[in-house]
Structure 1
Amino acid sequence: MNTSTESRAVFTVGSLTIDVKGTLFGKYLGLTRYTTTASSVHFNPLGGYDFFFRDNDGLSSERTLSISLRDLEVPSPPRYSESVVTERGILIYDYAMESSSTIEVTKLDPEQSLYRYAFNDFKLSGKAVRTNDTRELTCNGFFLLQELTWPL
Structure 2
Amino acid sequence: MANPNVTNAVFAFGSIETDVKGTISGNYLDLTSYSTSSTSISINALGGYDFSFRHNDGLSGARIISISLRYPQDPSPLRYSETIVIDRADPRPYEFETTTSSIIAVTQISNFVYRYDLKDYKFSGKAQHTNDTRELTCNGFFVVQGLTWPI
Scaled to the shorter chain, the TM-score interval is: over 0.9
CA separation in 2, counterparts of 1:3 and 1:106? 33
Give the 3 Å change call, closer, same or farther, for CA 2–75 of structure 1 in structure 2. Answer: closer
CA separation in 2, counterparts of 1:83 and 1:42? 20
SS in structure 1 at match of 2:31: strand
1:9 aligns with 2:9: yes
Task: Name the % identity.
Answer: 54
Q: TM-score, normalised by structure 1?
A: 0.93
Unaligned runs of 5+ in 2: none
Q: What is aligned with 1:52?
A: 52
CA separation in 1, counterparts of 2:3 and 2:145? 25
Q: What is aligned with 1:122?
A: 121
Q: Which runs of 4+ in 1 moved over 3 A?
A: none
Give the 3 Å change call, closer, same or farther, for CA 3–116 of structure 1 in structure 2. Answer: closer
Unaligned runs of 5+ in 1: none
CA separation in 1, counterparts of 2:76 and 2:2? 42
Q: TM-score, normalised by structure 2?
A: 0.93
Q: What is aligned with 1:91?
A: 92
How big is the shift at 1:3?
A: 4.1
The Cα RMSD (Å) is 1.4
Q: Is the 8 A contact 2:57 2:63 kept in 1?
A: yes
After the TM superposition, which residues 26-41 of structure 1 pair with which residues of structure 2 at under 5 Å, given as runs?
26-41=26-41
How big is the shift at 1:34?
A: 1.2
